Each structure stands twice: as structure tokens, then as C-alpha cells.
Structure 1
């Protein structure tokens, strides 16, 4: 495997020193930053994530900050999810769409105040789109990328580790809510959220100088909990049906095609720039949609490009993510399948790199 050449365009994170000391073995590039992908092995990291607790450097989940009187209006323009009932202290998963209804990102919106929001983005240059909308509509809002770097604590022992550093009151944070906690005299926004189904938190670290002191404090407090450095795990996220923007979906897909229709309130999300385009999709339904897929055979190779899904000689979909699941004893996968073939139990053929394999459509994901 070729090395990634460092440059100023590929940014390190406030936690890179800790990640390197922990023995990171692989990176990907995400929002022009380094994102760890493996420490011991994907399988060992997977097992540890399900049994203990991990500290993840996810500083690549950059924030787009909206601040000013029109920040709420701008936020609603970006997403078909109705935000009128959202209160400060809440986090919402929000599909972000363009004027055609195509997915631009699938971030978490953090409402800090009525006039201040963070959009914790997936891998795309969303900042430029948001600045363009704000400028084009002459909104009274400042749009910028603040010096905020998320650090995720994930796994069944996450509550115990967080309580050891921030106090027992951190256990009271509800799912997709956040609180503000002190660390060495600095306020930190902590949300109960994260890119796994094992439970945990995301700490929004403001200021790069406090990154390593926090990393060291978590590692020291977690000695008795078998804490390790970790990262989003390919196997676990596929089992859980957690989509990866740029892999499982992009701007050629609508939220409804991505199985995110429940986050679209097209009748009431007035002001969303893609609302009109999504109205027809909401009424008629998508003609293709994300599905859980089970692939026969031994451990599948890495899915670094889409694999065609065939019904005889006809292409009816594609596999976008796949991995062998030790817990379920099969290859688990995420794919986009046409409505004519997406029913539970439908048997198709996937053109994997090592040859054709039988694939079965599943109604729901494994976790």
C-alpha cells in the first residue's frame, strides 16, 4: 500500500500524537484530515469495541457554525427535516440536500442557542454550499468553521469512562442531547451520540491545545476499563446499517432512496431549498433504496468500488460496503437495490472482485 504524503492540505488533528502513540496502522482522508481506520486489526478492533470502550479521534467531523439572527432560517433551508420543535440542547440527524433533493451530507445538527448552531458534517465540502446559500439569500448570519474537534468515546463501558473524567452527572445526558461540562477550566459540549450502535458520547473539543491533555486524561482514567484507541469500525457500522456518505450515498441519491424518509417532513419543512423536488418522491416513493444484503461465501474482499447486483442479465443495484461479520458468520453488506427486487429474501447475484456470488436481500440490518 502506498504511503499518504503529508502536506498542509492534509491536516493532522489535536489528537494525532495520541493516535500515533497508540499504534495506528491505517488512515483514510476525510474532510481533508486524517481519520484512523485500524489499530490492531479490523476484527480485533471490532471485538474490543463491542466489549469495552474506545477513544476515537474523529476531529475530521468538522463543524460548520451558523451564528446570527438568521441562523435558524438558514438551517431550515438546508434540510427537509422540520426543525421548528428543536430546542437548544438537542442534536438532530439531518439530511442536507441541494435544489434537486440530492444528498449533500448527512450530519448531526447541534443547536447551541436560538442564534447559534453547529453542523457536524460527514465527508464533503459543505461549508462552501452553506456560505453560498447565506450570501445568495442575503441572510444575517455568519458561516464559518470553528476550531472544534470531536473526540468520540464508544463502547459498553463508555458511561463509566466519561463519569471518571467528567463526573457522574454525565450519565444523565439523554440520547441525542448534550450538556456542557468542565475540563481543566474549559467548557466542553458533550453529546450522547456517535457512529456506532455500542453507545457512547461525542466531546466537542474547542481549541486544539486542550486535545492531548483530554486524550491523556481519558486513557489514564480508563486503565481499569481496558480502554484502547479506536476508530469507526467497518464491520460494526455495516451490521448497524450506519451509512457512509461518499460510499453508500452521494448527491445522486435522495434521502428517501437512502432510507432516510423518516427524517424528511416535506409538507412542513417550508423554506428547504430542495423541498419542491422532494415532494414528488415523498408522495410516490423511491424506485430504488438502501437495503441490508447478505453475501454468500468466504470473507469478501474490500469494497473500494461499487459491485454490480444482477438479476440474470439485468443490473438491479449495487453493493457499496461489505465485510465479514464474525458475530453473524456471514458477509454483511449495504447496497442500493431497485424496488422490483428489494423484498426480503430476494436472491440475486453480486459481481464481487473474486467472481459472482449469491446475495440475499434482508428486510433490516443486524444490529
Structure 2
């Protein structure tokens, strides 16, 4: 018998929970103290459907940290080594957030609503408390809070067709990582071309919990002939595409450069970033370990709920942090942190899985 999750006020429902439950969610994880669905039909069935049709995802767990006030832009730059000076309202940036040691605290998307107003759409960590602490400690003129905003993702190759039916043809004008304001039932919502899959789609930042189910129901109704289903971030698809999971593939003990996110860091010019000094050496010398795609040969691997050692001749040289069997590529796909001495593409290593030792190969690129 599977263990159950006990509901309480500490484990929040979402504005879309009613729809998720009616759609038959079979499993959840806890993310930012909220319920995130992880399976509807099966991981593999959900995977095939995501790649062929369109899904509606309740990703309310991507909570927003809002910065509002004259010092909002200054505070935002203090949080990340990515240079934000050229960012304009209407743009979204993927931004590593670091502490004073250069360690990753989160890898969110920053949404610039105006010069004095930002949303940080966070991964699973208490970033709100860190941001409030930085703002208070430096007496910045900025309000830091969590607004009543809950993202709803529309993902898959038919996502654009569905979105036009609800928001109009102008939604197709959005470029990748750009957003606009779109009306729904008399209320304006931010809609961005973005999402946690490689299949294409949009994220709707639904403002107001009361707007949740009307939005969910409208999308479901409009997508009937498109084979719309409730869905969720898919483990197999995200590993194939090299989409990292904060808390699984990296945490505060890793720098952005170790996570392969150096291209999102402008450490030399990101003046004011609290971790800048610590990252300058890393950016100049390079990391000694880094995330790599790992192809694991042999039988389908079990669930990777803890790091699996990567070994070479009896010595541990890294760890696999995410892994799954890929039906499309007919191989076990994985993400691992590997020492620089062993990260060259084509290097064969051993991975110690719960099912035993399996041979693995470091790849140059991810699968999708």
C-alpha cells in the first residue's frame, strides 16, 4: 500500500486543485509547500501525449517573489550574476540566484513588469526569505512579497492552437521568453512564451485565486478536439532536454558554472551581485566539476530518488542525480555531476544504481 500525504494548512492547495483532482492525478510531490502533480495516466503515457498534443499544467508551485518600488531593479541585480542592464519590460530572463559564496539558491525566471516592478518565478526553495533579508539589511526602498499569482502552463505541439482560441491570434506574436498582457473574463493576465518542457508552449500568470478554475475550464473546453489533457512536468522529457531540477541536480553547494549555466553569468559586469567576488575566480579558472548528460546502458533503471555514485576503477568521480528510461531513444537518459578529469564526451564510466552497476557514457549534448 502506498503512503498518503496528509493535508494541512502547511501544505497548500492551488487555485487549480479541483481540476487536477477531477483529471485523475495519481501522484504528487511537495514543492514550495504546495502540491505538484507528477503523474496522471503513467509517466510514459504522459510523456508520449506531451510530445504529440497539448497539456494543461498546474504549476502554481512556481511561486512569485514580487519586488516593487524604486530599488526593485537594484535588488534584482544584487541577486544574480546575470547582467540585467539591457533587460526591458516585457522580457523574461533565466537567472541563477546565488548567495555570498556563489552557491546556487534558485534558478528562476525573472519577469520584468516595469522598471520598478519584477516577479521572480521560483524553483523549490525559500527564496522569499533570502530576498527579504537582503532588502531589509541594506534598507532598500522596495516591497518584497508573494503576490496571489499562480502560473498555469500550456505545453505541447498544439499549445499555440489552443491559446489562440482563448486569448486571440495576437498571442502568436509573442517571441520566446517574452510576455504580454491578455484579457480573460474582464481581467488582465501576463502570458509568456515559456515553460518547463522542450515541446513549446506558454505560461499564464493567473492573478487572483478566484480566476483559477474559470481559466482551467476554458482551456479544457477549448481544447477538446486537440486532445487536451491535464499534465505535469515530465521526468523523461525534461532529462532528454537537459532541463535541470533545483534540489535534485544542483543546490547551494554548486556554483552556476558547475551547473553548466556560465552562459547566464556576466560576472565581470554584474556589478552589485552579492556573490560576484566569489564567482570571479570560478569564471576565470573554470569549474572542477560540471553537469553532463549521462547515457546509462543496459536495463531500464529504477527511480533516482538519491544520488548514484559514478565510478572509475573504484574511485568515485561524480554522481547521477536524475535518470529515466527513454522510450523514444531506447536508452536510459541521465543527468550527472562529473569531475573535469572524466567529463569528456565518450568517456565510459560505471554507475552504481539500486539494481546494480551499469556501464554509462558521458555525452556531448542532451537528447532533445
Shift of 1:298: 1.3
The C-alpha deviation readout for 1:267-286, integer Å capped at 9, x for no partner, is 10000000000000000000
The C-alpha deviation readout for 1:144-196, integer Å capped at 9, x for no partner, is 00000000000000000000000010011000000000000000000000000
Alignment of 1:96-175 (within 5 A): 96-175=97-176
SS at match of 1:209: helix
Structure 1 ranges of 4+ moved more than 2 A: none
Q: So what's the TM-score if we normalise by structure 2?
A: 1.00
Cα distance in 2, alignment partners of residues 86 and 100 from structure 1: 25
The answer on 1:230 being equivalent to 2:231 is: yes
The C-alpha deviation readout for 1:188-207, integer Å capped at 9, x for no partner, is 00000000000000000010
SS at match of 2:48: helix
Match of 1:243 in 2: 244
Match of 2:326 in 1: 325
Alignment of 1:29-40 (within 5 A): 29-40=30-41
SS at match of 1:248: coil
Alignment of 1:2-41 (within 5 A): 2-41=3-42
Cα distance in 1, alignment partners of residues 235 and 176 from structure 2: 23
Match of 1:279 in 2: 280
SS at match of 1:340: coil
Cα distance in 1, alignment partners of residues 160 and 356 from structure 2: 44
**Aligned pair count?**
367
Cα distance in 2, alignment partners of residues 210 and 350 from structure 1: 47
Match of 2:70 in 1: 69
Shift of 1:313: 1.1
SS at match of 2:341: helix
The C-alpha deviation readout for 1:60-87, integer Å capped at 9, x for no partner, is 0000000000000000000000000000
Gaps of at least 5 residues in structure 2 are none
Shift of 1:297: 1.1
Shift of 1:299: 1.0
Cα distance in 1, alignment partners of residues 168 and 154 from structure 2: 15
The C-alpha deviation readout for 1:98-121, integer Å capped at 9, x for no partner, is 000000000000000000000000
Match of 1:194 in 2: 195
Cα distance in 1, alignment partners of residues 331 and 48 from structure 2: 16
Cα distance in 1, alignment partners of residues 217 and 13 from structure 2: 18
Shift of 1:17: 0.2
Match of 1:252 in 2: 253
Shift of 1:217: 0.3
